[in-house]
Structure 1
């Protein structure tokens, strides 16, 4: 008998007064809120709302999305970490949970591994490494060779402390090249800077990069995941040149630490139904994302490994925030 079922069997024999409140009412008996740290209308927000809608059907209760933007995502994650651990407030947690403890240790939660409880995986998203067409490079090895011949003369863009920024730093470290960071607000601003030659290269989401690539305004050299993208099958991965390289943005659901395991298990099972659905996978693919299925242990392992990886990149690059 699985451990969770065993606990339920024991609880069923206890007097009603001894049974926790979460067990007295069938969970969920009211709407669930998923807190999203990103602004409305962006890729992450769209994916979160899509997931919430499907999760509502799978779990049999309304699932609302609440945007709490700011503090390098810490406002959202702190709100969930301090919420009542009953399963009714969840966090759409991303790779920032693995980055912030090293890059911005004053932000809360300082230790997501203990202050939050992993529930289940949602998606991962790769980035396209594309360049200004005026550069004399059409492959990643050619770009690396040019950068080595011109140390410090190439610029790259990105929001400080994001996966895009750290992915470029990791590329520099692995390739043995020097480039200058030109911080921007990401998204459209970074794309316009690249098209105008104000920066020379950038990691960008496929959805943002595709129109520019199709118009020839930028040139794709590599993909940041270990697998090629279905919609860009002829673009090699960075790992094909630099073995072991991987930089992806991931999302998973988290609950406050102390949330009962049966509640987490129920949400995780419903989420797994969502992420395994072919229609959901197809819609996520349209957003340039890959639906991922994994339970609490999988998410915990991912967070732990990513924290170690980004800590190494941040430390070696001596990256600091104000």
Structure 2
């Protein structure tokens, strides 16, 4: 399976490490480096499961080095499916409000490869409750008449007016306030929407499953596009009541060409910059990359002046409770 996907030069992900209090902190993180490689092998590893028609036929699986430096990643699409709707799902089964963690944060590094057969479909990041009922989704429409990123609250599908680039790995970051039924999402640091109604479905608000989905536009699945979705990484976090939100600016380069990250910090939290050159191993040994917030709303700036920095590097900020 050929690919023109390439890494964005750098991005920023905000992660939170918390003291034990109910089911808080990291709920799920992909570990693709531990997966077996091959077609049909995303399903059945580390709790991922697909619809029965996607278990064979090579429409999902695990690749190794589909792009240089990426390591192992998963894919959905490309080959002709048997049915229109195909998915890979991870079961979370978490009650955010009942567990004292009303906010769920999700970040996933994804890319969409375009069709070459002049047929175009849609891919989704979708959330369901513990009863299996639909709550909400973000749609990446590759259809030429409606190209771009949309969101679905269970009643209405709306256009964010933001588009994506084929062949780019980009960070989708989602924050969901289950108690107040609100959510926000950014795409490579660009807001898709902010503090709007999460679900209008009327279904119970808890986190059952998290899914990547492919829906063929044509009623006949034989008319599917050979477009496909790559998933390089996914992290799902439970944030306890009272934890401050963190806002970041779009990463940029300074006048000397060094990558610069800027984000807000709060008293009581320590912030550690981590980085990876391969998305397989995260490191935290950059100089001056640990920050202890001493003021409310403190603006924190970090510049990577590593002289051995490769052309491609990805960053994240780990937020820890200050001892």
TM range (shorter): under 0.3
Give the TM-score normalised by the residue count of structure 1: 0.24
Higher-strand-fraction structure: 2
Higher Rg of the two aligned structures = 1
Counting helix residues as a fraction of each chain, which structure ranks higher? 1
